[in-house]
């Protein structure tokens, strides 16, 4: 085929067929610039290819953030590191790089309520998605209930296999709910399945000594903890509750605020 046999007017439809939306959107603008500046054909194609790849990365990140179901607003940029000096920013940044995912490493954040465990795990998860990993967030009780339904419907293997595609599963509030034997079983199966294969991140309000409430069977408790901590980074996050501190600061600011006045210079509430 020679250049004379190519109808340039069919280019948009060809680019659509090739699924190159950025090429389709930008080729005329870039071609005009290339003609004006005398670019060689290779540079023209390289510029368009860079735009296409960048747009694909953005679409992939948006798609994977949607499937991750991470809580809104919990990123590294919004985490208050000053309120938790025992957790250096550099350490969290290193975890956000994701090297620990190799070989199925785990991440466990333990501390009292309101100290930012969920926030830091989700912030790390958000960074991992942007770096190309696939992450899934769930409250432990919600995920366990779904897996229990899958077991009842004889599709537990399929449900667990679906979770295998995620490099990291974040289990929030693992120590909140007391679980019956059936729930305990599916949670243990999830942990055992991902051992040294895929990663789990866990937020827990209780130290390991209090995990008997999760796994009523002592042997299962020991086996689950053993698998989780074998290749784990543990973040101890015991501090004053962020929520409590925020409430106290808000009340103090309100108490110290000057009384409001109306246009007649009357204090609010005066007649």
pLDDT digits (tens, 9 = 90+) for 130-184: 999 999 999 999 999 999 999 999 999 999 999 999 999 999 998 765 567 777 8
CA separation for the pair 247, 1 (Å, rounded):
73
Nearest residue to 137 via CA among 56, 74, 208: 74
Residue 40 has pLDDT above 50, yes or no: yes
Question: What's the whole-number average pLDDT of the chain?
Answer: 85
Given this model, what pLDDT does residue 114 score? 84
Helix, strand, or coil (residue 45): helix
Q: CA dist 79 to 71, 121, 190, 252, Å?
A: 13, 11, 29, 23
pLDDT of residue 132: 93
- DSSP classification of residue 72: T
Structure tokens at 180: 């019956």
Parse the chain into domains and list their residue ranges.
Answer: 10-67, 69-245
CATH number, domain 69-245: 3.40.50.300
Question: Within the chain, where are the H helices?
Answer: 11-17, 21-37, 41-68, 89-97, 117-130, 140-152, 156-163, 181-194, 218-229, 242-256
Cα-flanking dihedrals φ and ψ of residue 202, to 5°?
-130, 135
Q: Percent of the chain beyond pLDDT 70?
A: 84
End-to-end CA distance of the chain: give it in Å, rounded: 92
Residue 246 CA to residue 235 CA, distance in Å, equals 23
| Span 69-102, pLDDT tens digits | 999 999 999 999 988 888 999 999 999 999 999 9
The model carries a pTM of 0.76
């Amino acid at each position: 085929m020679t250049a004379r046999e190519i109808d340039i007017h069919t280019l948009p439809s060809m680019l659509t067929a090739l699924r190159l939306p950025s090429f389709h959107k930008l080729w005329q603008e870039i071609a005009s610039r290339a003609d004006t500046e005398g670019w060689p054909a290779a540079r023209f194609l390289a510029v368009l290819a860079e735009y296409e790849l960048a747009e694909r990365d953005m679409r992939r990140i948006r798609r994977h953030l949607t499937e991750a179901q991470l809580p809104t607003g919990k990123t590294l940029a919004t985490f208050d590191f000053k309120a938790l000096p025992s957790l250096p920013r550099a350490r969290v940044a290193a975890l956000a790089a994701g090297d620990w995912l190799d070989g199925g490493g785990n991440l466990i954040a333990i501390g009292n309520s309101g100290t930012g465990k969920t926030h830091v795990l989700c912030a790390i998860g958000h960074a991992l998605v942007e770096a190309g990993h696939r992450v899934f967030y769930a409250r432990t009780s919600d995920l366990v209930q779904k897996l229990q339904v899958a077991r009842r419907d004889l599709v537990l293997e399929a449900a667990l296999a679906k979770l295998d595609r995620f490099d990291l599963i974040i289990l929030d509030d693992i120590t909140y709910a007391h679980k019956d034997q059936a729930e305990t079983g599916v949670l243990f199966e999830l942990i055992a399945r991902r051992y040294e294969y895929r990663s789990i991140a866990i937020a827990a309000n209780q130290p390991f000594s209090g995990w008997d409430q999760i796994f009523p069977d002592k042997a299962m408790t020991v086996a689950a903890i053993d698998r989780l901590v074998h290749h784990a980074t543990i973040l101890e996050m015991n501090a004053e509750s962020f929520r409590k501190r925020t409430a106290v600061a808000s009340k103090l600011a309100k108490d110290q605020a000057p009384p409001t006045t109306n246009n007649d210079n009357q204090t609010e509430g005066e007649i």
